[in-house]
Structure 1
Amino acid sequence: MATRKLFSVLFLQLIMFVVLLLVLNPAYAHESLKVGFYEKSCPEAEAIVKKVMVETLSKAPTLAAPLIRMHFHDCFVRGCDGSVLLRSSTNQAEKDFVSNLNLRGFQIIDRVKSALEKACPGVVSCADILALVARDATATIKGPSWEVETGRKDGRVSSEIEAHENLLPPTANITRLIRSFQERGLSIKDLAVLSGAHTVGTSHCYSFNDRLYNFTGKGDTDPNMDPNYIKRLKKKCKPGDNTTLVEMNPGNFKTFDEDYYTLVAKRRGLFQSDAALLDNAETKSYVKLQAATGGSTFFDDFGVSMVKMGRIGVLTGKAGEIRKQCSKVNK
């Protein structure tokens, strides 16, 4: 009897430990997310976001790319908690880190938030707004659409140092890229798929100028870049150029399509991190497949990978808050 009682107590304690582990481990927080989270609390939420995005991008289509990337940059630092939107009086928030200085469209996020607060005050989080805006920005410029899981709460911390530690630089090699994705529960395929977002937008010359003028510190060019492409880029970007913008997808940088993979396959990816996709068998295979088939699976894959990315480190339930303004925490 004593042995059976002891076993029952130990078994109960084990169950309680497992339950506590599931509750406290943020890896399971995404299970609280669901499609249609605001169906009852704010039924027009997604329609409101879409309306603002369609109106905005009809006038300023170049805002689509930075708005899509804003969701990426948010999720890779502290998880998808809207922390990239917070301002700091001392310029030490995520948005103050050099890689985030090129992000634009914060005023659009504020516009969406204002419209949602007017319709249903204190209900829709800024973190969810970022996820919805990324989807609608993609779809509005002829890219894929997907069902967005919602139910995130907003974080209260934003650190420039953490952005520096977690955001991937354009010089990242394939080893670093894969490790960063896997640390966040994303696969090698997700890396190849989400890199395809580079099919839209622009970049400053300083993000890749070393590939043109000083790749190994000896005044040389990157041997992994098409020499003809290097010549074209040198006409736009002079040594030390910190202001000129170059199209990520020359001639078609406002439309979301599969052209990125054609460019990478031809060694015309703008960043070292783009060229790095040819240094791994799985990512190279994906690049070659999309380039050869006109992006046969890219749109579907992109939606799947975006949903996975949107689950990284989310705050749900009693964690976090619903900010009244996306740029600052509630008092």
Structure 2
Amino acid sequence: MEMPGLAAAVALALILIIVNLAGQCSGQLQFGFYNGKCRDGNGFQRNVEDIVKQKVKEKFSSDTTIVAALLRMQFHDCFVNGCDASILLDVPNGEKTAPPNLSVRGYEFIEDIKTEIENTCPGIVSCADIIVMATRDAVVESDIKKMGTGWYPVQTGRRDGRVSSAQNVNLPSPSIPVPQAIAAFSSKKLSTIDMVYLLGGGHSVGVAHCGLFENRLYDFKNTGNPDPAMNTTLLKTLRTLCPRNSGSPNSANLDQDPLKSSSVDKSFYEQIRLGNGILEVDQQLALDPNTRFPVARIAGSNDFSFQFGRAMIKLGAVDVKIGRDGEIRKKCAAVNSPSRSSGGKFFNLFG
């Protein structure tokens, strides 16, 4: 059995490697961007990442589902116009109104963190960075062994985007074929391996409602039969949970190991290799020739946290905005009026 001290030492070594490798991902961002930049009203220095960490810790103590919510929010934000918090904007026909985002949640929590930081050091920290920091801290909180191995460093220095349009939302669907998923991630300069870690890691927590997988239970691809890739025991369970044409509001854990369904870990990969994938794309990860070998390797690995963290750092560097390309919003849900933080120039959302 691995000793906690040894695990911590290994985790530290891996973290140093991550920092080294991630520095190659984006010259626009940096680790510790906010160091020394946040002081309270009394002139005392505050650590921005510590503020976010404490808020996440408090939230997680009463709502463990915040982990899945934040992972989904970061993915949905970064995949559309880059990691710029455009998903948070409350504007007519904004990203929030697009069908894939109607079930995204956690907006109020990000706003709560933003308010706390603005009260301490106004006009310094972007909402885009808050999403990335809060997501990392939620992943850490989900570590059921509490050994700190889920921690990964985050780059910061993003600015918030000014444009949010539902027309720009083109996210991979739960039934997307693996080759198309690979192409979608590749368009964001994310590799097949990145995709396997991000999709699997993101689906290692959270649930899916019956409507997202009912077709696999009764009439898969209009065959009149269930998806043959699904474990028969799981099929019986899900048919009870989601009766045919019932419109059931029930949901199933994406990770079918009940002891690990709230933790971001490799259990998900073990489950899909057993035919226990809930979503079609999840199950196909274990079967497609492009991804089945990486899935098998991850399922038997000891470095999931390191590799997942590395992939999350790369996701967080997708099409970021810096300098005059963005702004620091006063409120995450609203577009700022002209201010020094936005370069003194106001851009309307739609022209």
Which of 177, 184, 192 aligns to 2:181? It is 177
Q: CA 1:34/1:40 → structure 2, altered by over 3 Å: closer, same or farther?
A: same
Q: Does 1:102 align with 2:106?
A: no
What is aligned with 1:227?
232
TM-score relative to the length of structure 1: 0.86
What is aligned with 1:85?
88
What is aligned with 1:244?
250
Given that 2:197 and 2:311 are in contact with CA atoms closer than 8 Å, whether structure 1 keeps it comes out as yes
Q: Which amino acid aligns with 1:54?
A: K
What is aligned with 2:322?
316
SS in structure 2 at match of 1:199: coil
Which of 273, 278, 291 aligns to 2:286? It is 278
Q: How far does residue 178 in structure 1 lie from its aligned partner after superposition?
A: 0.4
Q: CA 1:104/1:178 → structure 2, altered by over 3 Å: closer, same or farther?
A: same
Given that 1:189 and 1:282 are in contact with CA atoms closer than 8 Å, whether structure 2 keeps it comes out as no
Q: Which amino acid aligns with 1:185?
A: K
Q: What residue ranges of structure 1 are gaps of 5+ in the alignment?
A: 1-27
Q: What residue ranges of structure 2 are gaps of 5+ in the alignment?
A: 1-23, 39-45, 144-148, 338-351
Q: Does 1:212 align with 2:217?
A: yes
Q: How far does residue 315 in structure 1 lie from its aligned partner after superposition?
A: 0.3
Q: How far does residue 269 in structure 1 lie from its aligned partner after superposition?
A: 1.0
What is aligned with 1:190?
194
Larger Cα Rg: Structure 1 or Structure 2?
A: 1
Which of 65, 69, 74 aligns to 2:72? It is 69
Q: CA 1:104/1:182 → structure 2, altered by over 3 Å: closer, same or farther?
A: same
Q: Which amino acid aligns with 2:195?
A: L
CA distance in 1, matches of 2:102, 2:111: 17
Q: Which amino acid aligns with 1:31?
A: G
Q: How far does residue 279 in structure 1 lie from its aligned partner after superposition?
A: 4.0
CA distance in 2, matches of 1:211, 1:189: 26
Range moving further from structure 2, 68-77 or 270-279: 270-279
What is aligned with 1:116?
117
CA distance in 2, matches of 1:264, 1:95: 31
CA distance in 2, matches of 1:257, 1:263: 12
Given that 2:252 and 2:278 are in contact with CA atoms closer than 8 Å, whether structure 1 keeps it comes out as no
SS in structure 1 at match of 2:323: coil
Residue identity over aligned pairs, in percent, reads 37
Q: How far does residue 242 in structure 1 lie from its aligned partner after superposition?
A: 5.0
Given that 2:68 and 2:205 are in contact with CA atoms closer than 8 Å, whether structure 1 keeps it comes out as yes
CA distance in 1, matches of 2:25, 2:275: 40
Structure 1 vs Structure 2 CA RMSD: 1.6
Q: Which amino acid aligns with 2:78?
A: C
Q: Which amino acid aligns with 1:235?
A: T
Q: CA 1:242/1:94 → structure 2, altered by over 3 Å: closer, same or farther?
A: farther
Q: CA 1:300/1:29 → structure 2, altered by over 3 Å: closer, same or farther?
A: closer
SS in structure 2 at match of 1:318: helix
Q: Which residues in structure 2 correspond to 1:122-133 (within 5 Å)?
A: 122-133=123-134
SS in structure 2 at match of 1:73: helix
SS in structure 2 at match of 1:203: strand
Q: How far does residue 218 in structure 1 lie from its aligned partner after superposition?
A: 3.8
SS in structure 1 at match of 2:252: strand
Q: How far does residue 45 in structure 1 lie from its aligned partner after superposition?
A: 0.7
Which of 33, 39, 44 aligns to 2:47? It is 44
Range moving further from structure 2, 206-215 or 233-242: 233-242
What is aligned with 2:275?
267
SS in structure 2 at match of 1:246: strand
Equivalenced residue count is 298
